[in-house]
Amino acid sequence: SQELEQSPQSLIVQEGKNLTINCTSSKTLYGLYWYKQKYGEGLIFLMMLQKGGEEKSHEKITAKLDEKKQQSSLHITASQPSHAGIYLCGADEAGDSSASKIIFGSGTRLSIRP
Amino acid sequence: SAVISQKPSRDICQRGTSLTIQCQVDSQVTMMFWYRQQPGQSLTLIATANQGSEATYESGFVIDKFPISRPNLTFSTLTVSNMSPEDSSIYLCSVADAGNTDTQYFGPGTRLTVL
């Protein structure tokens, strides 16, 4: 089965600084999801990448999927306290473009220091 | 986007009892899933809830422990049976639609504590 490894496991960043979270798969990624989970709350969908080399941005968050489709990175520019939370990458196991179950990485706990 | 509600939002239960968690979606969806998030850990898929048939369970999860129902395309239940403290987790319902693979939505979760 597919395994996802996220790094770093935790991150403390000074407010205003940039940061990057990585997600590496043991297999080709057919669909890569990024979610954010605020402490004690549910999951918030950030974005989904499918094509090799694809890049998407939402406000100050940019996610990329490498050409080989085995690694994705999530980059936050000028971090703010509202960015604090747990970031999870998830992979679509199906590979046939149908809605499928998502397997998650271990998560990255992000704290923003004022 | 799909709006998902879960009941209860949280509960504290005694060892040996069972709890049924409900998941309601505001629109018909093709796929419904149940996840578990144990304290300090990432999400683990328990099973895929199939409408009109038995759920499909992931390795390590069995129907006797986590019976699932899905009577229609907008509703599902997960029961945590014969609970032990190790079952203390957040249980999340998730939905996706075969016609829109860009997103998979999650419910707010049910925080379960077993004493």
Q: What φ, ψ does residue B97 adopt, rounded to 5°? A: -120, 135
Measure B16 CA to nearest chain A CA, in Å. Answer: 26
- Asked if A101 and B48 count as a contact pair (C-beta separation under 8 A), the reply is yes
Residues from chain A contacting residue B48 (CB–CB below 8 Å): 101
Chain B nearest-CA residue for A48: B102
Beta bridge partners of B100: B97
Size of the A and B interface in Cβ pairs below 8 Å:
56
Cross-chain CB nearest to B33 (options A42, A101, A107): A101
Which of A104, A106, A108 should be substituted to probe chain B, the one whose Cβ sees the most B Cβ atoms within 10 Å?
A104
pLDDT at position B86, please?
95
State the pLDDT at residue B102: 60
- Tokens 């940061």 belong to which residue? A19
Instruction: Tell me the pLDDT tens digit for each residue of B31-74.
Output: 899 999 888 777 888 999 988 888 999 989 999 999 999 999 99
Predicted pLDDT at B49 = 93
